[in-house]
Structure 1
Amino acid sequence: MTLAGKRILLIIGGGIAAFKTLDLIRRLRERGAAVTPVLTRAGAEFVTPLSVSALAGQKVYTDLFDLTDEAEMGHIQLSRSADLVLVAPATADLMAKMAGGHANDLATTLLLATDTPVMIAPAMNVRMWEHAATQRNLAALRGDGIAVIGPEHGDMACGEHGPGRMSEPLEIVAAIEAALVDGPLKGRRILVTSGPTHEPIDPVRYIANRSSGAQGSAIARALTALGAEVVFVTGPAEAPLPEGAEVHRIETAEQMLAACRAALPVDAAICAAAVADWRVASASDSKIKKDKGGLPKLEFTENPDILAALSQPGPDRPLLVVGFAAETDAVERNAIAKRQRKGCDWIVANDVSPRTGIMGGTENEVILITETGAEPWPRLGKTEVARRLAARLAAHLESEQGAS
């Protein structure tokens, strides 16, 4: 039980995502953690004190002015008796109150009085999440040292789509484990590339692809959850940046290669980015005008091969280099050939033809190609694919260390 003896003070905010906290409590207790729940008035509109108490095996605290509890424990002691204070879901209102130092109910008073590490799992409508006020509050909370897990991209209960979904319970548990327990990748430095690259044609146009960066970001989070120091090199992507990673934003393939080389040495490299194969040989410094009499002539040249470059033998070659192969036909055959051609150790292959909905979607169905053969995985959420890959990587590095 990875969290045996750990005490979590769980503050449940008001939002449809509050229903996930019931599974979260169960997952935490499975791992040996003790969960003390605090239910806000708004949170009680979505989950009942009885259901929360039954799963936690503890009394649910709701009222700042419960005099019996003040005599027995007090809100100060309650706020400091845990190893971690977790706010899930962290609504826009709760985040605003935390950033402003409010203390007008039990939850906000506990958060202001605590000297215990605090983690929040935001959940709200996409427009609320993207609002300048919420982003200011988020920056203030991060500046105060509060850890943030999520939010994820996806469909909202309100019918909209985008960032704002609360992270899944297992992902939150993994973040808690990373915060409180030394993981199997403690002391390992791992490079992850993610997202598309944008190759300029002129100042207003570029060549790109449909990658959202969701799988690469999920991999970085899964590695961080296992204790790794992650260097995350990303092109312009829609997915939220992974918390706890060293982030380097780039635009082009050449910039990505330079950032990857600067990150060396690393123990492992996972090249999940969808790097453009070609670029315009000479991008125009000014906008190409649509003149009468013909189409512009664009001359293309190959981009640097980042996966092949990192796989080259040498003193800085990572112990494990993992590439991705996004294919639309003959997935396994093409991926096997790519592994041999690039010189990498593993290839994670997937079918990204439009019928699958994988490119830019929330799920993935991959085949792991290694020197021993091909291992098909079932269709899973991208977060679960990331966790499986991170666990396999950790086991591989451990075996390599044992053999050396």
Structure 2
Amino acid sequence: MKKWRIIAKHEYITNIKRKEFLFVTFGLPLFFLAIMGISFFFMGIGGHNEENKMGYIDRTGLFDSSNLTKYTDEELARKDLLDNKITNYFVIPENYTATGKIIIYSSRKNFADNMKIKEQINNFLLDNLLKNEPPDIIQRVKKPIDSEYFTLNENGVKSEDSGFSIVILPLLFSMLFTLSIFASSGFLLQSVIEEKENKIMEIILSSVSHEDLLKGKIVGLGALGLTQVLIYLVLAAVMILINPAALFFIISQIHISIPLLAAGIIYFLMGYLVFASIMAGVGAVATTSREGQQIATIFSLAGAFPMMFSEFIISSPNEGLAIALSMFPLTSPIAMVMRLSVTDVPLYELLISILVLAVSAYLIQEISARIFRASLLMYGKKPTLKELIKYVRQN
């Protein structure tokens, strides 16, 4: 077995048992699920499912209801509200048909209740205003549109799109990419620095070359990142399968094209290679773990930059900033997948982006390998910029 494969296997087995990896892989999803569960629990016990007992005062003489309490005296409505006989009442003024203004009174302040109350009043008003219309007309006024979106290609073949696929999918990919790539490349940074600080690097280099060491670490931790993605997908699949309603929604709403999936895999792999090579170089240069993390933060923020502008990229995918972010190697993995999810990116832009990312991955790996080779055995001494340039120029 080649030495880099032994190193890759060792890095994979060692890091998959790390507490940090287990926390990021299993702890974070469980934490977010717990937060969501607690939120729904408190929403449930907070009375949001409690039926609102509503009253109204009609000063137009146009409205009537068997479900709501009608008042002719506002003082009596106010008294019943304060005595908790009703939860809300609203006043329909004489000029309602001209202004549409409604005045609502409540005994408690709650945003979720306000939304529910407003919907209930809206249905009451529509039922009365359209009482002489057929039920299907009333229903269409309440819900005038149930849309489906299709995109026609040059061959006339229709592909169905949905708001879920357009907005949620690129964001999910971005978060998955960020967690997996930054976590695995962060482990690579931590591994290099720990071996330098513990002074076992010189022992390792006495048995293997720096090329095998770097290649083994990148491949092993890259496999770790893919394992993390697979675990996330399995957990998501389990959650979907135990909920038939969610399964039906996902099947009906998500439409992932083969080209988009292929592009996502390409950008994922090359994006990892770029960041892993950077982290290896940073780990070789840094003298302490804290210093390494501080330097790595700069590159991590650059990689996550498209997340900060996700709304702009999704809404304006063909603007200059979105195109520039999809070309720059540190931001293109996330930015280009966002653009591909929402628009037809010209083929030449996609090819240029992939070419730039591939060339950048090769150059960054070469530069990091030279810095890696020259800096690994430097303990307690941080190389200057002039020395780094010298290392890069040396073959």
Looking at secondary structure, tell me which structure has more helix per residue: 2
What is the TM-score of this pair, normalised by structure 1? 0.20
The structure, 1 or 2, with the larger RCO (C-alpha pairs under 8 Å, 6+ apart) is: 2
Larger radius of gyration between Structure 1 and Structure 2 = 2
Looking at secondary structure, tell me which structure has more strand per residue: 1
What is the TM-score of this pair, normalised by structure 2? 0.21
